Structures are given as C-alpha cells and as structure tokens.
Amino acid sequence: MCGIVGVVSSTPCKTRLIDGLERLEYRGYDSAGVAILQPGVSGEIAKSVGAPRVLREQMVTLESETLENGTVGIGHTRWATHGGVTDKNAHPHQVGRITLVHNGVIENYVELKALLAEKHSESAGSIPHVFSSQTDSEVLSAFLNYLVSEEGFDMDTALQSLPSHIHGTYGLVVIDSEKPEEIWVARSGSPMIIGLGDESNYVASDALALNPYTENFIYLDEGEFAMLAPKSFQVFDAEGNAISKRVEKLPYVSENDGHNGYSSFMAKEIAEQPAVIGRLIRAHLSPSGLKDGSELVALRQKMLGAENIHIIACGTSFNAGLVAKYYFEKYLNIPTSVEIASEFRYRDVAIPPKTVFICVSQSGETADTLAALRKANEAGYQATISLCNVATSSMVRESQGSLMLQAGVEVGVASTKAFTTQLTAFLLLAFALSECEATKKLLLESLFRLPADCESVLNISDEIKDRAAPLFQESQSCLFLGRGEQAPIALEGALKLKELSYIHAEAYAAGELKHGPLALIDDVIPVVINAPGGALTEKLAANVEEVNARGGRFLVFSAPGVDVHSDNQVDIKMPELSLVTAAITYAIPLQMLSYHVTVLRGQNVDKPRNLAKSVTVE
Ligand code: G6P
C-alpha cells in the first residue's frame, strides 16, 4: 500500500532514497517523508503532503547538511489509513530513540497507547510521550521506544517480541538513535525485501524501488526480521535465531523506469497489450499445442479430476475471475464460482469435494486475497493456484501452483494489461485442461490471432477520443450494460471509468435492466454497450430498445455487421475480431474510453485520488 525505502551506506543516501520513493509512488502518493542521519553527528526528518517529487523540492529549499550528506536513511510514501493527509501524519515517526516507517495497520493501537500511559504513570520520573499525529504508526514507535529505553530490550529482542503485543500487520524499518549506523527491518503481514549492494545495503517494500542499485535481493518471510549495516547484514527467524537466506537475482529492467515516450504509464500499458499477450501465449503454446516446458503441464496435473473451481480476487482481478466462470463452464463444463476475497476470508466456507482454489492478483500481495489463499491452504482444497504478475510475490510463494501473467511491471493504478493477460491466462488454462479436440482447436486458433486482434483495436483510439469521450465531459453518472462474457466486461468498464474519471458508473447484466437501472434512464446519462455479435445479439438489441423507448442515449462498440440500433447513439465500429476472445478485445476500447475521458476532464490517469496500486492492508 504505502511504499518504504531504506538505505544504509558509506556515501550520501538522499538521492537513492527519494528516487526509490518516486519509483514506489504508485503504491501511495498522499504524503512522503524521510529521516536521514550522519551517524554520530546528526539526524533530521523532512516530510510533506503530496508526492515524493514535492518532498524532493522541499528538501532543496531546506539546505540541510544532514539531509544532503547523511549516509543512513529511511523513507516512506503514504496512503492514509489512520489520520488525514497532513505533514504530521506522514512518516517517519520519531519517539525517543526510535525513528520508523511503517506499512500495514496496528489494530490494537488504542490498547497499546493505554498500556504506555499506564506504564508511565507507574514509573516515577518518566515523561509520557505527547502524540503529535493521529497514526497507529506513531504508537508503534512509542511502543518500540518503551521496549528499548525502559525495558532494556536490544532491537532484535524488541522486534522478536512485537507479534506477541501487536494485532495487525506491519512491514517496518527502524533506526535506533543509539545505533545510528544500522537499520532494522521486520515483516509481519506486509512484504519487505532486502537489497544487497557494495558498501551499501537497502530495504524496501518492493524490489522495484531498488532495482537500479542492486540485482541481489533477499525476500523476508513472515515473522522474520533483519539488521543492515553498510557492509554487513543479518536475518533472524521469528524465534530470533540468526539464519542464512537465499539471495535471489532480479535483473535490472530499464523499461520499468518511465513511460518511454508515452504521456502516462496507463497509455504505455494499454499500448503494450498486444506484445505482452503475445509473449504469454508463445511462452505456453506452439502452433501444435502445449509446449513441454510450460507451467500449464504441472497445473493440469494439479487440476486433474477437478469437479469445481472457486476463484477469489479483488478489484479488476475479481472481474477477470467473473469472465473465467464463463470460460470454464463453457469450455470445460466445470462448475465455477467467483468470490470477493474480503468476503471469503471471514465466512464459513463449504467446500465441495475435488474443488480447486484459484486466486487472481496482479501484485500477488493484496492483503485480502493473500489471507484468502492462506485460509484455502488450510481448508482442504484439491489444489491452490495463483494467477499472478509478480513471480517473487507472497501469493506465488504460498500457493501450490502458479501461472505467471508475464505482463511486465504495471505502474498505472488502474489495471489494464494485467487484466487482459489474466483473461488470456484463463483461456490458456482452459486449453490445457480441455479434453475436447474441437475446443482445443478453437482456442488455439483464437489465441494465436489474439495479439493481432488487440493491435487492430488500438487503432480506434483516436475515434474514441474524438467521438466517444466528449459524451462524458460533463457527465455525473453513466451505465454500462453487457450480456454473456460482456456482462463482467461491463463491470470492468464501469470500474475503470469511475476510478479514473470520478464519474459515477454502474454496470449491469443487460437482462437486469428492468429490475432497477431502467429507472435511471433519461436523455443525459450515457449508456455504454459492447455488441461483439454472437448468439445474444438479439437479446441485447431488445435491451437497447427498452432504453431507446425511454429516450436514452448510447455509446455502442459493435462488430462489423452487428446493428443494435437506437435513435440517439454514437456507434463505434470495432474491427473484425474472434468471438472467442471478445472479452479481451472488447475490454480494450473501454480502457481507452476511461483514459480519454480522464484526460479530457484534466485528471491524472496514473494516480487517481484516494486509490493505491497495491492494497496490502485489508
Ligand atoms: C487495487 C488496484 C486495482 C487492482 C486491485 C487488486 O485496488 O488499484 O487495480 O485490481 O487492487 O489488486 P491485485 O494486485 O490483487 O490484482
């Protein structure tokens, strides 16, 4: 959710710290802060509301020797959970000897605060800390300070004892002012990684922050914590034993560094879809079928004999799961259910025999989906499988099998290429599991033409900008309708539009129109419909008639030869496309629509207000 970077070095760390925060900005961007130390000399904190760029500018005006030349630093880019977006609530938080940055939520912070007050009242001469922020993280600083200053704990014993005091989650980087030449990191429910460099060691919530400085990473597992100094480090397990960990190589990919000539990450990521979808397909299929080395061979084994599939996800990934239900029931005849992760994790679950659990996630770190996977691992499913874009993520590590999306880093908060590669991955899975030659042939043919189909859809971007986006320039509200696989695509279209443009957008299976949403229809609210052709076209046309009779106005994306006519409509013709992959290809104009509407309304397509890319708190 929030982003963390830490550097412990023998040379000034400021640039690496701020650059790292900027690379993590997509995880949260309401405020940012750093604490920088010159060990043995001085320490200083700088914070500002806004993105790390604002902090960088502010630090220049401060003209601080410590901020410029300090060699040990921790930084944070925030997505507010406890307390509003203010300088005071921004991290780092400093209490006594402790300065820390924190990702996650301390659920029992009120009790901890009360406990600290009680301890202070019992101890003569002790001065209670006056909290200056509304955050749970400052309470955590105060608690750690209490452990090291008043209970006499060393930092390793303090961090080891934290889980017994804390309800909630944390990814934590801490500096103790009495040992300013080292930083400490701890993981409990929020990912943290260590980067190993020459004369510098690093820590971050995401390898992306550190990738320009090192290719050598250690992934902390749950409960582990570590000490880092410029030329040494030590990892400890949850019991406090010093342990050695595997160092993993993550080659530097310069394409992750910017939007490469595009005006935004979203524009770049939309345009990349033909290439990344093609790469994913070619990784698994040759024109004659499944490749020998494909991960799908092992997944087919795990899913052999499955009688049910249960799919869990959040956000856009959930919408991908809804499409997969159509695929699995149509091509495999396997009953499939799809559920929001935050519901699944807290309810009593009845699991039919031979059920395979699939979690879908771009990041592989979404807190609710990860918790759902952990529950599923305990619950006796035939197998737990993750569809994921990050090979080193917690979900990939913890599921019994996984299929990588290979979409490359997705930075835009609104998911685009991860969504279409999720749908492609589901079709690949259907291909791998199918026993029917006709189905396999159909899927193979459609998948091999899919990259070219996606490319041809990108060509209508200007038409969407000129003819479709202006319909929404002044809109307060709009409706997306679809039938069959296009019903979940309508949901995804509405999600994309609302999260980026802040226009209220709802989506319905078109058959539900008369059960409520028809009451919204007037001659102002735009109604968006995908009409790719196929068996449901007449039914869709009848729904269009129902809206038309009430004076509604439409934006229709239709296949050549498909006419769902109404009196007041903008009809944008799609190219000739395979119907088998129409959920994928018809998602793209809706992405482009959201993009152009958002640009037209002057808002940020990459960083919508209040949202974050990787939701590691529940
Ligand atoms: C956030 C992002 C969405 C994403 C959702 C699930 O809300 O803004 O784009 O769909 O999380 O994330 P995941 O990484 O699990 O796919």
- pLDDT > 70: percent of the chain: 99
Q: Is 613 a catalytic residue?
A: yes
What is the distance in A from the centroid of ligand 1 to the CA of 310?
Answer: 19
Q: CA 484, 486, 489, 494 torsion: positive or negative?
A: negative
Long-range pairs of 401-407 with CB within 8 A, sequence gap ≥ 24: 401/295, 401/298, 401/299, 401/302, 402/295, 403/295, 403/296, 403/299, 403/428, 403/429, 404/295, 405/280, 405/362, 406/276, 406/279, 406/280, 406/283, 407/272, 407/276, 407/280, 407/362
Residue of minimum CA distance from atom 1 in ligand 1: 613
Residue (of 47, 144, 155) closest to 91 by Cα position: 47
pLDDT in tens, 326-343: 999 999 999 999 999 999
CA-CA distance, 86 to 414, in Å (whole number)? 25
Per-residue pLDDT for 124 more than 70? no
Length of the chain in residues, anyone? 618
Choosing from 2, 359, 454, 478, the catalytic residue is 2
pLDDT of residue 25: 80
pLDDT of residue 579: 97
CA-CA distance, 356 to 396, in Å (whole number)? 16
Best residue for ligand 1 mutational test, from 413, 419, 613, 616 (most atoms within 8 Å of Cβ) = 613
pLDDT of residue 257: 65
Q: What is the mean pLDDT of the chain?
A: 93
Per-residue pLDDT for 26 more than 80? no
Confidence of residue 551 (pLDDT cuts 50, 70, 90): confident
Best residue for ligand 1 mutational test, from 314, 359, 373 (most atoms within 8 Å of Cβ) = 314
* Lowest-confidence pick of 217-231, 247-261, 301-315, 393-407: 247-261
Mean per-residue pLDDT for 102-125? 87
What is the distance in A from the centroid of ligand 1 to the CA of 250?
Answer: 23
Q: Where are the alpha helices (DSSP H) in 380-470?
A: 394-398, 417-433, 437-458, 461-463
Using CA atoms, how far residue 454 sits from 273, 277, 442, 446, in Å, is 7, 9, 18, 12
Q: Is 573 a catalytic residue?
A: no
The total of other beta-carbon atoms located within 10 Å of residue 458's CB is 15
Per-residue pLDDT for 474 more than 70? yes
DSSP 460: T
Q: Name residues contacting ligand 1 (CB within 6 A).
A: 314-317, 361-363, 366, 369, 413-415, 611, 613, 615
- pLDDT > 90: percent of the chain: 79
Q: Which atom of ligand 1 is nearest to the CA of 316?
A: 10
The answer to whether 442 touches 424, Cβ cutoff 8 Å, is: no
Per-residue pLDDT for 93 more than 90? yes
Q: Which atom of ligand 1 is nearest to the CA of 363?
A: 14
Mean per-residue pLDDT for 152-158? 96
Mean per-residue pLDDT for 457-473? 96
What is the distance in A from the centroid of ligand 1 to the CA of 414?
Answer: 8
* Amino acid letter, 345: R
Confidence of residue 254 (pLDDT cuts 50, 70, 90): low
* Lowest-confidence pick of 139-143, 256-260, 302-306, 355-359: 256-260
Per-residue pLDDT for 608 more than 70? yes
* Lowest-confidence pick of 405-409, 509-513, 519-523: 519-523
pLDDT of residue 125: 67
Confidence of residue 361 (pLDDT cuts 50, 70, 90): very high
Q: Which atom of ligand 1 is nearest to the CA of 313?
A: 15
Residue (of 415, 396, 399) closest to 407 by Cα position: 415
Mean per-residue pLDDT for 355-364? 97
Per-residue pLDDT for 27 more than 90? no
* Secondary structure of residue 402 in the 3-state scheme: strand
Per-residue pLDDT for 612 more than 90? no
pLDDT of residue 567: 85
What is the distance in A from the centroid of ligand 1 to the CA of 152?
Answer: 42
Q: Which atom of ligand 1 is nearest to the CA of 418?
A: 16
Per-residue pLDDT for 193 more than 70? yes
The answer to whether 139 touches 152, Cβ cutoff 8 Å, is: no
Confidence of residue 149 (pLDDT cuts 50, 70, 90): very high
Confidence of residue 162 (pLDDT cuts 50, 70, 90): very high
pLDDT of residue 64: 92
Choosing from 47, 113, 375, 613, the catalytic residue is 613
CA-CA distance, 614 to 366, in Å (whole number)? 6
What percent of the chain is helix, strand and coil (3-state, nearest 5)?
Answer: 40, 25, 35
Residue of minimum CA distance from atom 8 in ligand 1: 613
Confidence of residue 1 (pLDDT cuts 50, 70, 90): low
CA-CA distance, 175 to 227, in Å (whole number)? 10
